[in-house]
Amino acid sequence: MTTSSTQRLDAALSAIEQAGDEGRRIFTRVYVDTARAAARAADERAASGLSLGPLDGRIVAVKDLFDVAGEPTTAGSALLRDAAPATQDAPVVRRLRAGGAVIIGKTNMTEFAFSGVGLNPHYGTPGNAHDLLRIPGGSSSGAGVSVARGMAEIAIGSDTGGSIRIPSALNGLVGFKPSLSRVPREGAYPLSFTLDCLGPLVQSVADAVATDSVLAGIDHVPVEARSVRGLRLAVPRGLLFTQVETEVSDAFEQAVAALTEAGARVSDESLDSLLGAPFQLQEKGTLIAAEAAHIHREAVVQRPEAYDPIVLGRIRRGQTLDAATYVGIQQARNALLGELDRALADFDALVLPTVAFLAPLIADVQNETDFMRVNALVLRNTSVFNFYDLPALSLPLPRDGKLPVGLMVVGRRNADRDLLAIGAAIEALLG
């Protein structure tokens, strides 16, 4: 980068300030003084030829479910606005600081991360970076918008059913959901003990690789250069391609044609029996809702009025899932992991649309019926791969100024670095 960390921080802070009320809907906190001190320290290191790692001096925003010492972690809620301050930084925040990252602020989110739409009645809903009247995607809503609007270079979010990949797809970013065990989750307000994972929303796969190395606590090494030629890519036609808007379908098919022309071995595969299983198993209730019901078991009784009514309703539905059904879902899930692994053994990755539609208008998802319909569909394609704990990447497709569309690339179990290398190759081809 040709400009200093201080100069880039000034540009980001200026973008937040110039956005006015919208900036306050994107960020719940902005750390002007500490960020300036961190940027100056990074510039001094750079002038001396020193570096703390690949994120040294980079401008990073963190989702408002990560503990930052000395302040309450609100998780996008009114309920926790006056909670006791965190006693220490979350491990991911500590790793970012130790790596020289300049933490500019905390970004807004769906209350308790429990929706893929991105609405928040307590702190306001950030508008989509490409059209303020449209949804930002959630639950890492402010995270996606902050990077897309130049208010941060990198944002750290969480992904339980698609909360990194959805806002990345709808705002034209790269979003990386790593394998569950790759990044420590302590100090991040939980939604689901089974499915929560943490990762970056960024402008490029190279930034995803750099951020992943810091969050995972591993040495930063660029991923192996891969060619699109010879990649074995499976397209899971069927359930996950239903209700796909024409513009999304057209952009996806153009990408598949480009991959095929470049020498990738792309084949349509019938995987509905496995990819539909998470929905069939959870018809009576989801793991996420049941675990959220446990996490909020006291607050929903003592202070129900403090919740977003839609979020409260979803938590209460989780209370209806009996223990036998919950255990049955977990046992069936454990058996299915290996089945999907075997079905994907001959492929390097799956490719499909990240989200089935373009970002809808915020005004069109205000009543609960419309909200629930849109939320179910926005989460459909992404949530499958949380259930199966596969690493997944959303890449922006070329759109010539139109509303963004995301291409989801799903890797094999625990093959995070391989997936990032494949993503870099596809990114280089599609531009």
The whole-angstrom separation of Cα 176 and Cα 21 is 29
The whole-angstrom separation of Cα 362 and Cα 127 is 8
Do 79 and 14 touch, CB atoms closer than 8 A? no
C-alpha torsion angle, residues 287, 394, 28, 380 (rounded to 10)? -30
Active-site residue identified among 115, 139, 141, 383: 139
Question: Annotated catalytic, 168?
Answer: no
CA angle 365, 371, 374 (to 5 degrees): 95
The whole-angstrom separation of Cα 379 and Cα 381 is 6
Report the candidate in 165, 52, 7, 38 with the shortest Cα–Cα distance to residue 105.
Answer: 38
Active-site residue identified among 115, 141, 158, 163: 163
Active-site residue identified among 63, 106, 213, 383: 63
The whole-angstrom separation of Cα 200 and Cα 61 is 10
For residue 102, the cross-strand partners are 59
Give phi and psi for 215, each to the nearest 5: -65, -35
The whole-angstrom separation of Cα 96 and Cα 98 is 5
Give phi and psi for 202, each to the nearest 5: -145, 180
Question: Annotated catalytic, 163?
Answer: yes
User: What is 1-431's CATH superfamily?
Assistant: Amidase signature (AS) domain (3.90.1300.10)
Which distant-in-sequence residues (6+ apart) come within 8 Å of 375 by Cβ? 115, 116, 117
- Enter the tokens of residue 392: 């997944």
Which distant-in-sequence residues (6+ apart) come within 8 Å of 394 by Cβ? 164, 165, 166, 168, 169, 173, 174, 175, 176, 354, 406, 407, 408, 409
Strand, helix or coil at 27? Answer: strand
Q: What is the residue-level pLDDT of the chain in tens, covering all 431 positions?
A: 579 999 999 999 999 999 999 999 999 999 999 999 999 999 999 999 999 999 999 999 999 999 999 999 999 999 999 999 999 999 999 999 999 999 999 999 999 999 999 999 999 999 999 999 999 999 999 999 999 999 999 999 999 999 999 999 999 999 999 999 999 999 999 999 999 999 999 999 999 999 999 999 999 999 999 999 999 999 999 999 999 999 999 999 999 999 999 999 999 999 999 999 999 999 999 999 999 999 999 999 999 999 999 999 999 999 999 999 999 999 999 999 999 999 999 999 999 999 999 999 999 999 999 999 999 999 999 999 999 999 999 999 999 999 999 999 999 999 999 999 999 999 999 98
Sign of CA dihedral 21, 26, 27, 33: negative
Tokens 């002007």, located at residue = 32
This prediction has a pTM of 0.98
- Angle, helix 205-216 to helix 91-98, in steps of 10 degrees: 110
Question: Annotated catalytic, 181?
Answer: no
Residue 230, Cβ density class (10 Å: 0-12 exposed, 13-18 middle, ≥19 buried): exposed
